[in-house]
Amino acid sequence: MKIALIQMKVQKANDANIQSACRQVTTAAQAGADLVLLPEMFCCPYETANFPLYAQPQGGANWSTLSACARENNVYLVAGSMPERDGEAVFNTCYAFDRQGKQLAKYRKMHLFDVDIKGGQRFFESETLTAGSELAVFDTEFGRMGLMICFDIRFPELARLLALQGAKTILVPAAFNMTTGPAHWELHFRSRAVDNQVFLMGCSPARDLSASYHAYGHSLVVSPWGEILAKLEEQEGILYCDVDLQKTEAVREQLPLLKARRTDVYDTRIVGR
């Protein structure tokens, strides 16, 4: 499977961002990509006050354009994340579309980015966003995949649940900043990949120093063995990588971590809402 991660700059206008994303999806498809991943909040400048202003319902204009983009380019499109309005609530939502433009999955960010780092950045998504509570996995001809968004990667339980539901890769639209990125970006992706023996793919916006929020960039693909197979720096670009999801089984045979879990002593499972 050839995957493409689109590390794009986020402009102020929603429509300009959607059009830019679709142009780059077409470029990736022409290069042979089977699956394309977009960044977190790729259509909306990453500021809490913007999320309600840019929010659209499922099936709205952005959703429809991205569905058509997947169909016209015959790719799986994991459409980063966007502000989604559902009644009075606004969610940080990732939609996944199949090659015909049908929605395969929808994931609402479960762990909201509420931090106040000494000497760093204060950011509280909960000021305008509501947390999701549903896991998201979906099937492709290449294997089962799971979804997380950015801050979710810091919580090992979520990645483990996706692996236990059969995910062989976890796709993560994300926007780490210049405080957390250098310290933890690669560390978390490599850790979750090794913990669960899955591929981890993280797609960030490109860094824009003229914006109020400075994304770290460095989109990357990590193997189930913890190797960084491909990565970008901070600039705009498309990251291509060929992956074989069946390699997860080879790694799990060599190191049978999931089978060796002591579920008589501890467990990770869904026990309710």
Domain presence at residue 261: no
C-alpha span between 4 and 31 (Å, rounded): 9
Give domain status of residue 167, yes or no: yes
Q: Tell me, yes or no, whether 185 lies in a domain.
A: yes
What integer pLDDT is reported at residue 206 of this predicted model? 98
8 Å CB contact between 217 and 208: no
Query: Does 79 reside within a domain?
Result: yes
What confidence score (pLDDT) does residue 270 get?
76
Q: How much is the pLDDT for 162?
A: 97
Is there a domain that residue 201 lies in? yes
Determine the pLDDT at residue 120. 62
Query: What is the distance, to the nearest Å, from the Cα of residue 37 to the centroid of all Cα atoms in its chain?
Result: 7
pLDDT at 40: 98
Amino acid at 183: A
Domain CATH for 128: 3.60.110.10
Is 272 inside a domain boundary?
A: no
Catalytic positions are 40, 109, 150
| CA–CA dist 183, 238 (Å, integer) | 23
Predicted local confidence at residue 115, as pLDDT: 84
Q: Which residues contact 197 (CB under 8 A, 6 or more apart)?
A: 163, 224, 248, 251, 252, 255, 257, 258
**What's the predicted TM-score (pTM) here?**
0.95
Total domain count, the chain: 1
pLDDT tens, the chain, 273 aa long: 999 999 999 999 999 999 999 999 999 999 999 999 999 999 999 999 999 999 999 999 999 999 999 999 999 999 999 999 999 999 999 999 999 999 999 999 999 998 887 766 678 999 999 999 999 999 999 999 999 999 999 999 999 999 999 999 999 999 999 999 999 999 999 999 999 999 999 999 999 999 999 999 999 999 999 999 999 999 999 999 999 999 999 999 999 999 999 999 998 887 654
Give the ranges where 100-213 is alpha helix by DSSP (H): 156-164, 180-196
User: Is 15 among the domain residues?
Assistant: yes
Structure tokens at 193: 């990949």
Task: Provide the pLDDT for residue 272.
Answer: 55
> How confident is the model at residue 209, as a pLDDT?
94
- Any domain includes 158: yes
Enclosing domain of residue 163: 2-254
Q: 35-37 and 76-78 as β-strands: parallel, antiparallel, unpaired?
A: parallel
